[in-house]
Chain A
Amino acid sequence: MKGEVTLTDEQLNEYVEPMPGRPTADLDRIDSAVKQVLEEYPEYDTAIDGALAEEIHRGLDITRRTAGDPGLWHWLAVVRYPDLVRHRWEYRSEEAMREKFLGAGSDLYSNAIHRLWWIAELTSRGDDYSTTDAVFANQTMVNKVFDRWFARYQPAVRAMCDELADEPSRVIDETTRRFNHALTNVQLEGLSENEAREMIRQIVAESQ
């Protein structure tokens, strides 16, 4: 986990199996983006996320169902880009690092690469990644929005990201907290993007 051991293909092969559904990916594109990031960004720089998210999202031609398979993310993090994971995340504990390599599945915030793809997936609109960039430019937003359950519901995420884009951390913190509390009364999946937006606007207004 600390990068002190290098695993060989032989050691890994017995754990690797083909993905169902035969997803395809432009790994060359991701390789070069990762290479560039490793050269240009200092270690543990949070800006790495923003620099990579769009490329990873575009490079992996997969459905959300495929993205729900933890094996894909384990392979990307452990086999294909372990250097990237270690470059981005400082080793603080076995448990934390294990999550960056071996998280995924229902927890979209954990695996280092999984989270980049998912956040891009939930915030992009077609070829427009401007919201994705805005979100990664503000780590408070990444933490407060995407580490919550409602982050799995795209209309709410889009509305939340738009409305909070220019707000200070304190407001982001308070708004996401109150929205999460309000969702104990309101069925999240019953909200349209506009309804979610209206709720969030009112909460932002009260949180300022």
Chain B
Amino acid sequence: MDQEQIQINEAVEWFFFSGGPGAPRYGDDPTKHAVDHDSEAFVREVLQNANDQGLPNGDPVEVTFRFVTLTGDEKEEFLDGLGWDDRLGERMRAVADTHNGHRYERVVERVNDPDAELRLLVVEDRNTTGLTGSWDEDSNYAALVRDELYSSKQDDTAGGSYGLGKSVLWTFSGASTVVFNSHLTHSVREDDSPRLIARSKFPTHQLPEDDTTYQGAGWLCQPIETDDGPRPESFWGEHASRLAEQLHVERPAVSGTSAMVVEFQDPTRDERPEVEDLAQEFVDASVKYFWPAIYRGDLEITVETPDETLTADVESVPAIRPFVEAYDERTTDAQTLVDPGDVAGLDIPVKLPPRADGTETPDGSVRLSARLASPADNDAYLNNVALFRGAGMVVKYYDQSRVAYGDRNFFGVLAAGEARPEGTPSKSDREIDRFLRFAEPPEHDEWESTENLREQYQRGFRMALDDMFGTLRDGLRHLISKGSNGDSLSDNVLNRFPIHGSGNPRSTTSPADPAFEIDSSSRFNGDAWTISGRIKVLSEEFDGWSADISLTGIGEDGSRYDDIPIDYVEIEQSGVTVSYDDGCAHLVADEHVNEVSFSGRSHSDEAADLVHGDVGATQLEILAELQTPEEDQA
């Protein structure tokens, strides 16, 4: 930005940089579009940020979500403190007139309607670092208040490494404005706490009777002059305290930050949910994703509404309890599951490539445990494996229902990195934690090949991940299987009841070594089936291979119907040709291709109706055939 063109508007205490003529314009905050934005994602991102900023004193990070609703005089006083009449309101009206500004119009209406309430959400964390540092240095403060998509987290175990999570605060503010009140620790200005500043992220805009073009970002602050030009500066001490009180963002004098989202709203919903309902959703989402951290005593979460205070403990969400038990008993020696509620576990070996600078990484393992489901369990996440590492946040619930059969349903846990051991993590645990952190995309909802991994590690990171997941699936099958005692009474009894299928007893002999590893999924999306999958050749030597992909309707009694025609199948790898015959897709791969991922779609059936037999149970079938060198000679 051209320093000469910076303008300050000291009078209103809202400071906006001016881009001047020819400066790039911002229609909207780009980070708003980067992650899913339901309230579950909000809770997840916000908690992850707080969790990452915990102080290394062994005490838990405490987070309180506090909903505040304002009407009447309280609302007036709040708006006064926010500088609404000191041109913030005028500015928001101007923003509302830009073509991206429709949402601001609704906020302006709400402010001006004496009967309408304003809804604030305060996210207060304690025993965290707080907003330390200054505008001009690489700091917590600068990362949150100044920067975009910039993370200051240096710690190898931190949950985030993109700086994207904090953007949800603005995304969920109808006014795109967030107020921060922080109590600092270990800082030269600790005695000056609290520290308060507000930041808005508007589109580029102009004010009436003013031909200046303002950049989107603005600060409610005390602007100061520096050698490099004017800068927004936070309020400190007594001044900050008074303003915090007026803005309902006051906090106890313990280290941490309170972030207040002005006019909280979920951008994905058109209705305005009751605060009580939102509070329950916050509890559910907190436990769903952070139960490992809560269970380990690293994180305490409460949600407050004007009427009640809810605590997010692992007991409060029934769907999560089986996972907690699987984690609690993960070090068990048991390798077989007999009765519902049993937990068995296995070590999954992990081999990491050397770091990019050539540093060798020690081999280690992650711990898989599974609990056999009982009919009494809440089955919302049945047959899923919760994946997490030291940060204590569940990265994802990994659907492994294909491994389950009969009544052998389960809840699985993969405790990786620093979450694996009960005591002090080993060197390899720490390295695996670091590796998996870099394997997370900005949304932190997957462990996969990423740009970050490529930067941090030498070749082989992708195979390390594939191998870990491959072994995980095999290990899970081993745990879920009934073991070698095939003559058990229950097997014999079960075979007498041919309830499903043709009634053949289950085979107890093990199948021949498979030539392929195949994963697939299909889903009906309203008018067509979307399919995806992965076919991997397990054999070392082959001359090429082919696969037929088809979709078949299935009746209630398992009878097979006509194929559902496949419209197209897409494959990104080269060396594979796709042809279609009678609604089936035929893949031919040459000898250089040992793995193919595909996605595709059936022809759409817009009349599809669930009770007319247009759409129902459907089987995605992949028949793969390997061509080996021996066959060529024969």
Q: Is the CB of B561 within 8 A of A185?
A: no
Instruction: State A157–B5 Cα separation when bound (angstroms).
Output: 82
Q: Is the CB of B555 within 8 A of A148?
A: yes
Looking at chain A's contact residues, is the secondary structure mostly helix, strand, loop, or mixed? helix
Partner of A203, one of B554, B556, B559, B613: B613
Is B610 located at the chain interface by the 8 A CB criterion? yes
Partner of B614, one of A148, A178, A180: A178
Point out the residues of chain A lying under 8 angstroms from B555, CB to CB.
148, 177, 180-181, 183-184
Q: Is the CB of A185 within 8 A of B557?
A: no
Q: Is the CB of B557 within 8 A of A182?
A: no
Minimum distance in angstroms from A102 CB to a CB of chain B: 15
Partner of A199, one of B561, B611, B616: B611
Point out the residues of chain B lying under 8 angstroms from A202, CB to CB.
611-612
Is A186 located at the chain interface by the 8 A CB criterion? yes
Q: Is the CB of B611 within 8 A of A184?
A: no
Interfacial residues of chain B within 607-633, with CB under 8 A of chain A in the complex:
610-617
Point out the residues of chain B lying under 8 angstroms from A81, CB to CB.
none
Minimum distance in angstroms from B612 CB to a CB of chain A: 5
Is B133 located at the chain interface by the 8 A CB criterion? no
Is B553 located at the chain interface by the 8 A CB criterion? yes
Closest to A207 in B: B613
Q: Is the CB of B617 within 8 A of A184?
A: yes
1/0 per residue B304-325: CB within 8 Å of A?
Answer: 0000000000000000000000
Instruction: State A148–B556 Cα separation when bound (angstroms).
Output: 9
Point out the residues of chain A lying under 8 angstroms from B612, CB to CB.
178, 182, 199, 202-203, 206
Interfacial residues of chain A within 158-205, with CB under 8 A of chain B in the complex:
177-186, 188, 199, 202-203
Point out the residues of chain B lying under 8 angstroms from A186, CB to CB.
610-611
Is A129 located at the chain interface by the 8 A CB criterion? no
Q: Is the CB of A182 within 8 A of B561?
A: no
Known: A148-B555, A149-B556. A181 touches B610 (CB 8 A): no
Closest to B613 in A: A178
Partner of B613, one of A106, A149, A177, A188: A177
Instruction: State A199–B610 Cα separation when bound (angstroms).
Output: 10
Q: Please classify how large the interface on chain B is, using the bins under 10, 10 to 19, 20 to 34, 35 or more.
A: 10 to 19
Point out the residues of chain B lying under 8 angstroms from A184, CB to CB.
554-556, 616-617
Is A91 located at the chain interface by the 8 A CB criterion? no
Q: Is the CB of B561 within 8 A of A181?
A: yes
Pair count A-B, CB < 8 A: 58
Q: Is the CB of B613 within 8 A of A179?
A: yes
Instruction: State A183–B554 Cα separation when bound (angstroms).
Output: 10
Is A150 located at the chain interface by the 8 A CB criterion? yes
Task: Give how many A residues have a beta carbon under 8 Å from the other chain's beta carbons.
Answer: 19
Q: Is the CB of A182 within 8 A of B611?
A: yes
Instruction: State A180–B614 Cα separation when bound (angstroms).
Output: 11
Closest to B503 in A: A106
Minimum distance in angstroms from B613 CB to a CB of chain A: 3
Point out the residues of chain A lying under 8 angstroms from B617, CB to CB.
181, 184-185
**B556, B561, B617 — most chain A CB neighbours (10 Å):** B556
Closest to A202 in B: B612
Minimum distance in angstroms from A189 CB to a CB of chain B: 11
Point out the residues of chain A lying under 8 angstroms from B559, CB to CB.
148, 180
Instruction: State A203–B613 Cα separation when bound (angstroms).
Output: 7
Instruction: State A11–B553 Cα separation when bound (angstroms).
Output: 49
**A179, A184, A188, A203 — most chain B CB neighbours (10 Å):** A184
Point out the residues of chain B lying under 8 angstroms from A177, CB to CB.
555, 561, 613
1/0 per residue A140-164: CB within 8 Å of B?
Answer: 0000000011100000000000000
Point out the residues of chain A lying under 8 angstroms from B553, CB to CB.
181
1/0 per residue B518-558: CB within 8 Å of A?
Answer: 00000000000000000000000000000000000111110
Point out the residues of chain A lying under 8 angstroms from B556, CB to CB.
148-150, 180-181, 183-184, 188
Point out the residues of chain B lying under 8 angstroms from A106, CB to CB.
498
Interfacial residues of chain B within 490-530, with CB under 8 A of chain A in the complex:
498
Point out the residues of chain A lying under 8 angstroms from B614, CB to CB.
178
Instruction: State A121–B459 Cα separation when bound (angstroms).
Output: 71
Minimum distance in angstroms from B547 CB to a CB of chain A: 26
Closest to A191 in B: B611
Point out the residues of chain A lying under 8 angstroms from B561, CB to CB.
177, 181
**B553, B557, B559, B611 — most chain A CB neighbours (10 Å):** B611
Instruction: State A184–B616 Cα separation when bound (angstroms).
Output: 6
Instruction: State A149–B553 Cα separation when bound (angstroms).
Output: 16
Minimum distance in angstroms from B302 CB to a CB of chain A: 41
Closest to A149 in B: B557
Partner of B616, one of A149, A150, A181, A206: A181
Closest to A199 in B: B611
Q: Is the CB of A180 within 8 A of B610?
A: no
Q: Is the CB of B611 within 8 A of A148?
A: no
Minimum distance in angstroms from A74 CB to a CB of chain B: 18
Instruction: State A188–B613 Cα separation when bound (angstroms).
Output: 13
Question: What 9 new A-B contacts, CB under 8 Å, besides A148-B555, A148-B557, A199-B611?
Answer: A149-B557, A150-B557, A178-B612, A180-B559, A181-B555, A181-B613, A184-B554, A185-B617, A202-B612
4 smallest CB-CB distances across A and B, nearest first, come from: A178-B613, A184-B617, A180-B555, A183-B556
Binding site for B on A (CB under 8 A): 106, 148-150, 177-186, 188, 199, 202-203, 206
27 sample A-B contacts, Cβ–Cβ < 8 Å, listed by A number: A148-B555, A148-B556, A148-B557, A180-B555, A180-B556, A180-B613, A181-B556, A181-B561, A181-B613, A181-B615, A181-B616, A181-B617, A182-B613, A183-B616, A184-B554, A184-B556, A184-B616, A185-B610, A185-B611, A185-B615, A185-B616, A185-B617, A186-B610, A188-B556, A199-B611, A199-B612, A203-B613
